[in-house]
Amino acid sequence: MKARMCCKTRSGFGTKRLATPVALVVLLCSLLLASGAVAQGAPAPGPGEGDFRVQNYATGTGNGNFVYRGYLFRPSRDVVVTGMWGGFGPNCSEFGGAIFEATLTGGGTSDVPEFEIGDVVREVRFEDGVGNTPEFREFDSSATLSDDSYYVIAQGRIAGGSGCHFNTDSLDFQNLLIGSPILAEWFPQEDAQYNIGGTGEPEGRVGQTVGFTDNIRILVGFRYETDSVAADLTDVQTTAFQLAGSNNVVVSGNLSDSGLQDPDEELTLYFEFADNDSFDNATLVPAQPFTVTGPQTDVPFGATLEDLDDGVQYWVRAVAINEAGRVDANPLSFTVGSMDEGFEVTTSVVTVDDASGTVTPQTRAVAENETTTFGVFPASGSEVSDISSTCGTGSLVGNTYTTAEVTEPCSVEFTFAPMQEIEPVAVPVLGRNGFLWLLIALTFMLGVVMLRARVKA
């Protein structure tokens, strides 16, 4: 398809497990979220630390009721937690926050399982009482959460006042679950939270059976230890093209460094867009590739923003989330219907036998008579055996494929096959007699050369 290119830029204790519905991925980009920035004056994670915060996946804030409310979760790995996020409005004198052990009872539903609250793992006090302001409190000592156990994170009033929860208008639980690498499971799987009820010390909640939800949605979270460092999007080079005949816009970018240290660690990639440069009520769209695993650099990624409004100016930015937290790239702005035309380039993959590989992103758009690039990554033991293209003859150097100049919509097909084994070349071994004949031949040749030299002299 023909595309239009933008031209205006600007400088994330029970042992019974519940499966996450596949439908979450399908619904991933249907809700809204806030920018996820750490609030002014709040401490950012230091080296070796990361934050999980509900606030990064929610829109709006307000003051609600005061009884204990929270969420059920299971971490994706054994994780050392060091502190808790929470907070409340100005009408209360003291709130308590805590992480509890939890055991599934077998009741409820797959989206809203019932559980019993177990012992308090760690607790804190929130006492600042500043409306719509997150508070962070370190635990007296760290604690390890196990990846085969469930936990509850909750807060509620200890003393004084009412209508004082620090909470959200909407919670994007799909993006929270998919986009938070430290979480394996999260409940309730709806735009809601568990209403635990009661006030007073956190210990008073131990032994309660909980299965009731409501929609106040408190903004809590926890800090944890991680080997990951923040992802690098400084060289993101975001581009955007409008496809002719539609209001769809193809966006592309580049991940400079995943920031991951372990080959099993994961990072997720998105594009976030809004009709304002503050990214209020923004929409998050998963990129392709969505997940990057292990240490990687210079990874191209992209996404398609669908059904945008004609004549409206939008801002879009790349987003990377790993255990160290969320990183937002500098935004790019464009106006639908006022973008230079270009063309769409799509890719496909063919595999031979047990070979495999990936091409990222799957789709790019490029201005007329320009080239574009794709990342080509054969799996271990595989190689690129053939490239066919309707774009003309391109070139593959290392893991980067560069198209020919694009003059119309086109496609590129990559074939991955098992890596060809190089047969060793047999080196002849001379026996004793063979060695003597070789020596005689070399001596004869040397004599001929010296004789010719003497004759010429």
pLDDT, one tens digit per residue, over 439-450 is: 677 777 777 667
- Buried/exposed 216-251: b ≥16 CB within 10 Å, e otherwise: bbbbbbbbbebebbbbbbeebebbbbbbeeebbbbb
Whether the per-residue pLDDT at 13 is higher than 50: the answer is: no
Residue 453: per-residue pLDDT:
62
Express each pLDDT in 348-364 by its tens digit: 999 999 999 999 988 88
Does residue 299 surpass a pLDDT of 60?
Answer: yes
Residue 342 and residue 2 in contact, taking contact as beta carbons nearer than 8 Å = yes
For position 455, what pLDDT does the model report? 62
Rounded to a whole number of angstroms, the distance between the first and last alpha carbons of the chain is 77
Query: What are the CA-CA distances from residue 27 to residues 31, 171, 260, 311 (Å)?
Result: 8, 13, 27, 27
Instruction: Flag whether pLDDT at 198 surpasses 60.
Output: yes
Polymer length of the chain: 457
Rounded Cα gap, residues 413 and 406, in angstroms: 15
User: Tell me, what's the pLDDT at 32?
Assistant: 33
pLDDT at 104: 99
Tell me if 156 sits within 8 A of 244, measured CB to CB: no
Q: Which among 53, 70, 37, 36 has a CA at the least distance from the CA of 217?
A: 70
Is 244's pLDDT higher than 90?
no
Q: Report d(CA 392, CA 127) in Å as an integer.
A: 66
Task: Give the pLDDT confidence score for residue 160 in this predicted structure.
Answer: 86
Return all residues near 411 (Cβ < 8 A) that are at least 6 apart.
345, 346, 347, 348, 389, 390, 391
| Interval 178-183 mean pLDDT | 84
Write down the residue that tokens 């590739």 correspond to. Answer: 289
Is the distance from CB of 76 to CB of 147 less than 8 angstroms?
yes
pLDDT of 442 reads 72
131 band by pLDDT with thresholds 50, 70 and 90: confident
Angstrom distance (rounded) from CA 270 to CA 35: 12
The rounded distance, in Å, linking the Cα atoms of 238 and 381 is 33
pLDDT computed for residue 156 by the predictor: 95
Question: What is the value of pTM for the model shown?
Answer: 0.69
